[in-house]
Amino acid sequence: MKVVLASSFVPFVNGGARFIVEWLEEKLREHGHEVERFYLPFLETPHDMMAQIAAFRLIDLAGSSDRLIAFRPPAYVIPHPNKVLWFIHHIRAYYDMWDTEHGGRPDTPGAQALRRALIEADTQAIGEAKAVYTNSQVVADRLKRFNDIDASPLYPPIYQPERFRHDGYGDEIVVVCRVERHKRQEMLIEAMQHVRTGVKLRLCGMASNADYGFAVEHRIRELGLEDRVIFDNRWITEEEKVERLAPALAVAYLPHDEDSYGYPSLEAAHAGKGVLTTTDSGGVLELVEHGRNGLVCEPEPEALAEAMDRLYADKAFAARCGTENQVRLRELNIEWDHVVQALTT
């Protein structure tokens, strides 16, 4: 089958939305399909957002491919008679974040009209698909709520999971992800003021805003935690990631209302580690079950500190969480053969 993978991207910004396309391309080729990856830039700027979406709508890929698989908005507006969606997220500022502090849009008649136009366009274009899959139940629920469209979760695996290994349980809670306010590394730093054991925290990643990265470094110094909090303020290599996770005590990942469980949670599972997260982390809770393959805390520094101390003091419990995290992957059928079959049937 000739398959086009269509998505959008923000120039000079890398991350999971690109990885999912690139990794799927390789797996489709391994299964004998011809694949073309098709990216177009897209910026969520109110003054020309609908014009950008209209440009996507004018693209004709029907004659050049047997199937179109679309991902990030607004790639799914591209018309095709055999279109399947692996839907990653809405343009959330106009959906679930509209009435929140994270929306960032003025509630004016013009903004409201733009929101209505966007939802109408999305509903029509997504409704054209032969099948709609999402990266989590959270996103499937949003599609039903806002667009009245049914979708099934198709959980994304990670690339080459066999490269991860397990070297026991040391004293570090490891965090490997972008350093952003909504990823809440600062809350973990605050928690380290309250720990009573020898547990340590290692933060690996870089901020899209350099000033915020400097603020995180300043906060560590301000609290006098330099000896217990290591901040590797850069993008570590994949090889370094394996080396950091292998001896870790556990992995922490506590984004606010995340769309999915996040690759850090999967990497933890493949390295045999449990996950520390919070009750408001969104899709992460589809993977992590409290007391089984990790700990789910209230989003408060004191609660996180208590959980970190528990993992440090009870290494047998930390080990059970790591083992059960691998079992959880199998329960949710998070593997590439399942993904390829779903998207090409």
Question: Do the domain assignments include residue 344?
Answer: no
Rounded to an integer, the average pLDDT of 121-149 is: 96
Same domain, 284 and 301: yes
* Dihedral class, residue 4 (left if φ above 0, else alpha if ψ from -120 to 50, else beta): beta
Decide: 342 and 134 in contact? Cβ < 8 Å: no
3-class secondary structure, 194 = coil
Same domain, 67 and 165: no
Decide: 285 and 296 in contact? Cβ < 8 Å: yes
Give the model's confidence band at 286: pLDDT under 50 very low, under 70 low, under 90 confident, else very high: very high
Domain boundary residue, one of 154, 189, 211: 154
Rounded to an integer, the average pLDDT of 98-119 is: 84
pLDDT digits 0-9 by tens, 140-185: 999 999 999 999 999 999 988 999 999 999 999 999 999 999 999 9
Domain boundary residue, one of 105, 130, 154: 154
pLDDT number for residue 97: 86
pLDDT at 101 over 90: no
pLDDT number for residue 99: 83
Taking all residues of the chain, what is their mean pLDDT, rounded to a whole number?
94
Higher pLDDT, 110 or 199: 199
**Partners of 229 in the β-ladder:** 201
Rounded to an integer, the average pLDDT of 282-307 is: 97
pLDDT number for residue 168: 95
pLDDT at 249 over 80: yes
Question: Do the domain assignments include residue 343?
Answer: no
> Which residues constitute the domain of residue 265?
161-331
Question: Do the domain assignments include residue 337?
Answer: no
pLDDT at 102 over 90: no
Between helix 49-57 and helix 109-127 the angle, nearest 10°, is 20
pLDDT number for residue 243: 97
CATH number of the CATH domain containing 115: 3.40.50.2000
Decide: 135 and 90 in contact? Cβ < 8 Å: no
What value, to the nearest 5°, has the Cα angle with vertex 272 and ends 252 and 180?
20
**Pairwise CA distance, residues 285 & 301, whole Å:** 19
Same domain, 175 and 136: no
Question: Do the domain assignments include residue 236?
Answer: yes
Question: Do the domain assignments include residue 15?
Answer: yes
**Pairwise CA distance, residues 263 & 142, whole Å:** 21
Same domain, 127 and 186: no
- Give Dmax over CA atoms of the chain in angstroms: 64
